[in-house]
Chain A
Amino acid sequence: MAQRGIREFDAKRLLARFMPDYMPDFNYKGEVVLVGHDTDFDRLADQNPWLLDRKLVVKPDQLFGKRGLHGLVLLNVDFEQARKFIGSKMNSEVVIGGVSGRLDHFLIEPYIPHKEEYYVAIRASNDYDIIYFSTQGGISVESRWDQVIEIPVHVLQGLDGIDLKKAVADKAELRADQVASFLEALYRFYVDLGFTYLEINPFTLCDGSIVPLDLVAKLDDAEAYWQKKTWGDLEFPEPFGRALSREELYIKELDARTGASLKLTILNPSGRVWTMIAGGGASVIYTDTICDLGHSSELCNYGEYSGDPNTEDTYRYTCTILDLMTKSRHPQGKILLIGGAIANFTDVASTFKGIVMAIKEYQARLKEHGIKIYVRRGGPNYEEGLRLMRSLGEELGIPIDVYGPETHMTRIVPLALEKA
């Protein structure tokens, strides 16, 4: 649960669909289409005749910015040119801000010739949302930040008592009325639809109507329960460069199904050190310690399980990790850290039962790959949990070192890594 970026395509559709509720003369139609791997261009053109009539803009829609600077925006072309451009770029690898990834989603919309480039953004902070507005928008807005007006809106009072027209009058001049009513509508749209960030840079005026050109948006995915009707089947794409592996996808689905929290990010599957850490706080600290001790290159994953997952879920989570661990060999053998802080209410014995089941199942493969396991945990029923682990090691003949709360939480990291 957190702030999640959405595609420009989805944000623009939300804008076209819901903004008229707040601003009756907002008549941006949301003419925009999304092209993925398997999009049928002919059908697309059938369903969206404007694609054939208009000059178009094409750009990747994968949650990264500065697309123009990377030569990924094509302006003022016809449908055939757009199609060719996408065909040549689809699946190609690009590096954006140090992250490399494949292009797999493009947006096509009408090309709007324009002079004015206005800037608006709304950002959340503790007690205030802040509306930013400038008539000097576009790619150079950052270098002309002194032109940007900031309007703080208190989270309890909202727009009551704020004279938007007066706030923008100096800058927007003749258009102050229109800009003010747009800002008001956009703010209410932003609040009601669960946005945490919304930036339109730039928007312009075409025949007197407001048209968003480039847009960046984040939603608070914790609002999903309240936004079922407005968001519809909106998806939250993974950040650019992070195509999920089969295993990551599996854990993500498992996470979505249970009340507990299950997370997995694979960093380096050919490394030696795998972690299975209970708790959002502890998992970060274990990962820190591995890196702080200079073993970041050997670290295979980040992950955590917490919120009292049941035995079945813990079993599945463990199987996933053990499966990944035993895909390739490492000449020095591998290490699995089953760590965690002293739990508040998670029953350690019952979560360990799921881990024990999985280890038993993978017994032969664990031996084959020379895997050594280190355990550290405390909390309700921990004595029984640790006993289960100790006797498991003896029973299976797999080296399992077991520690409780008397041992500092992260001590198993140096124990495991500096001995080996």
Chain B
Amino acid sequence: MSQKRPDYLLFDRNTMAFVYGYQTNAIQRMLDFDYVCKRDQPSVSAIINPTRAGIHKAFWGTGEILLPMYKTISDAVARHPEADVMVNFASHRSAFETTMDALNQPSIKTVAVIAEGVPERQARIMAASAKKAGKVIIGPATVGGMVAGAFKIGNTAGTTENIIASRLYRPGCVGFVSKSGGMLNEAFNIISRNSNGIREGIATGGDRYPGSTMLDHIMRYEANLDIAMIACLGELGGEDEYQIIKALKEGKISKPLVAWVTGTCASFLPGSVQFGHAGAKADTAMETAAAKNQAFRDAGANVPDSFDGYGDQIKMVYDRLVAEGKVKQAAEPEAPKIPADYSKALSTGLIRRPTTFICTISDDRGEELLYAGKPITEVMDSRIGIGGVIGLLWFKKELPDYAAQFIEIVIQIVADHGPSVSAAHNAIVASCAGKDLVTSLASGLLTIGPRFGGAIDDAAREFKRASDSGLTPEQFVSEMKQKGINIPGIGHRIKSVKNPDKRVQLLIDFARRNFARTDLLNYALQVERLTTAKKGNLILNVDGCIGILFIDLMSSCDTFTKQDIDDVLRYGYLNGLFALGRSIGIIGHVLDQKRQGARLYRHPPEDIAFMLPRWDE
């Protein structure tokens, strides 16, 4: 630390703090406050996050900075001896141990405990330990506090708009203390409207045993020459206010004090009502709000008749101080500007920005996931199966049952084709090399293309082109022959006219039973008649049959438009269908190898002809 702060000052413009808990909003609000206060450097030294060490990126004005993040308090303290404050966002379950840990670190002088519901005994031990060590605890059950123009704890003073509105970016002359954290912002607002604003404001928390009391802070304000007047807001229950009244009577508080104790309503309510604050309950007549307000009045404090007059009392005292020349009215600096957070500006409709991506098929932002606009529960209830889901996510359409069924048949048919084909083989080799399931699957899928599995798309495309352009089957066959291209979807290694492929028959039967028309299939079968006449195995194979029937399905069904058919061919939907179905088989092969504990595969050298160029000649 460059220079030592006097004891009465907990925070100044050089204060550095740890934030315990990964509270990104609170951290950003602290940094934004620092920025509008024109501090030289941000007040957060580091974040302590018990689940992750590393870095956190935050805004500093319009730029960005990195904050280090440690898992333990002692790690953070070892690297950042400059930080003497810990803002403790630990939950009520761990607030005690983390606070005690912080109190044991010589460099940490002040701990703000945010958690509500800290047990009273724990709170009392924390308070007594802090007192013994000459340290200060603010809280528990508080938002914290702040020194205007210098440092703020966590979420104190809320948003930047509020900081600007209550002029908290520069010091005023009023020291404020309350029990209630929720009333802190309101008090800043009232004080800034009725005086030159806040110098320092602390909320001690609404619990019965706060780590530091209102009097503790008032005595600091009394010692602080920059504070000309003090305001406090107490509440019924407990006797903290009597400590202040005693100090007033003993002349220990020389600065004017505006006081109000809330809870005057309690006398009108049944005695057993527990207010929102744990400590807010009067057990004796002394602890009532009315008794405390009267005692404040009797001790010479400025006490309004109701909370409605609190601001008026502050204004009266402030104006008197100005008139007496005890407060100099400084020239008001220009209100700083802070860039609005993108997300906030967007939510308020202040800005717009073109989006980078468009998504038209699904949406997970609402209460329920949507597939093509349909809630997932509805999708499940309608039992449309994988085929129906493909209809929603690939076509954004609800398919007729037979169409969904056809897709499922296709997926089942293409699911596997033994271990020797490119995809399965690759996946097996990758798996044997020790690669994980997804990597092995990917290595198999990457073989799908023009020579492997691509025939479905090609067959659909070629047959459709031929049929659309009015070529007779004969013309088509001879055209392909002239070009020297094998007709995609025609030909099989083993199957032939005499030994037909059962899968093809199954597909054709299904189509004939369910499709309104099978024009392209009829055309293809005419082509097959020509090719099988030349050679028995030049039959319509399963790839060709799938591709061609898919076109028939789409052209004969009102659900699809011509545009849909063009899209299917242009963007390779049918390849997608093959990749999807075949993934089932590939995963099966990979798992098969894993279960066996298969070793690394190395291709036998005798199966490779080594024919390298020779350079010795």
Contact = CB atoms under 8 A, between A and B. Distances in A.
Interface of A: 1-3, 98-99, 124, 126-127, 154-156, 191, 194, 196, 220, 222-223, 225-226, 238-242, 261, 263, 265, 267, 278-285, 287-293, 296, 299, 302, 304, 306-307, 341-345, 349, 378-381, 383-384, 405, 408-411, 413-414
Given A281-B262, A281-B276, A408-B190, A288 B124 contact: no
Contacts of A196: 120
B129 interface: yes
Given A126-B127, A378-B162, A280 B277 contact: yes
B185 A378 contact: yes
A267 B271 CA distance: 11
B268 A342 contact: no
Contacts of B289: 288
B270 A280 contact: no
Given A127-B131, A344-B158, A413-B308, 4 more contacts: A223-B121, A267-B269, A284-B263, A378-B189
Given A283-B276, A284-B262, A307-B116, A343 B271 contact: no
B431 to A, nearest CB: 47
B158 A343 contact: yes
Interface string B130-141: 011000000000
A281 B306 contact: no
Interface in B163-209: 165, 178-186, 188-190, 206, 208-209
Nearest to A350: B347
B245 interface: no
A191 B121 contact: yes
A240 B271 CA distance: 10
B182 A222 contact: no
A293 B309 CA distance: 12
Contact of B278 (A2, A239, A267, A378): A2
Contacts of B124: 124, 126-127, 155
Contacts of A280: 180, 182, 206, 275-277, 280
Nearest to B125: A155
A380 B347 contact: no
B253 to A, nearest CB: 21
Contacts of B182: 278-282, 306, 341, 343-344
Nearest to B181: A344
Nearest to B206: A280
B273 to A, nearest CB: 5
A240 B305 CA distance: 33
A289 B275 CA distance: 15
B467 interface: no
A283 B277 CA distance: 10
A380 B159 contact: yes
B103 to A, nearest CB: 12
A124 B265 contact: no
A281 B119 contact: no
Contact of B185 (A127, A292, A342, A384): A342
A261 B277 CA distance: 10
Contacts of B270: 99, 241-242, 267
Contacts of B306: 288-289, 292-293, 410
Contacts of B159: 379-380
A302 B155 contact: no
Interface string B250-293: 00000000000011110111111111111111000000010000
Contacts of B132: 156
Contact of A284 (B125, B186, B275): B275
The 8 A-B pairs with the shortest beta carbon distances in the complex, nearest first, are A280-B276, A281-B180, A279-B182, A341-B186, A239-B272, A296-B268, A281-B183, A2-B278
B93 interface: yes
Contacts of B188: 342
Given A222-B118, A281-B277, A342 B263 contact: no
Nearest to B280: A284
Q: Which of under 10, 10 to 19, 20 to 34, or 35 or more describes the interface residues of B? A: 35 or more
A269 to B, nearest CB: 14
Interface of B: 25-26, 92-93, 116-121, 124-125, 127-129, 131-132, 143, 155-159, 162, 165, 178-186, 188-190, 206, 208-209, 233, 235-236, 262-265, 267-281, 289, 305-308, 311, 344, 347-348
A417 to B, nearest CB: 12
Contacts, number: 206
A241 B272 contact: yes
Contact of A344 (B157, B206, B271): B157
A72 to B, nearest CB: 19
B272 A242 contact: yes
B189 A342 contact: yes
A1 B181 contact: no
A413 B265 CA distance: 14
A343 B124 CA distance: 28
B342 to A, nearest CB: 14
22 contacts: A3-B208, A155-B128, A261-B116, A263-B274, A281-B181, A281-B276, A282-B180, A282-B183, A284-B275, A288-B264, A289-B308, A291-B265, A293-B306, A306-B182, A344-B157, A344-B182, A344-B184, A380-B159, A384-B348, A408-B308, A409-B307, A413-B308
Nearest to B159: A380
A226 B280 CA distance: 24
Nearest to B25: A345
A289 B206 contact: no
Nearest to A387: B348
A279 B263 contact: no
B264 A304 contact: no
A242 to B, nearest CB: 5
B190 A383 contact: no
A291 B278 contact: no
Given A285-B307, A344-B182, A383 B120 contact: no
Q: In the complex, which of the residues A261, A263, A288, A380 has the most CB atoms of chain B within 10 Å of its own CB atom?
A: A288
B305 A292 contact: yes
A265 B162 contact: no
Nearest to A349: B347
B120 A342 contact: no
A74 to B, nearest CB: 26
Contact of B120 (A124, A341, A349): A124
Contacts of A283: 275-276
B156 to A, nearest CB: 7
A86 B242 CA distance: 45
Contacts of A239: 271-272
Contacts of B308: 289, 292, 408, 410-411, 413-414
Most buried by A among B26, B188, B262: B262
Contacts of B273: 265, 302
A302 B281 CA distance: 14
Given A1-B278, A267-B269, A344 B121 contact: no
A292 B304 CA distance: 12
Contacts of B347: 349, 381, 384
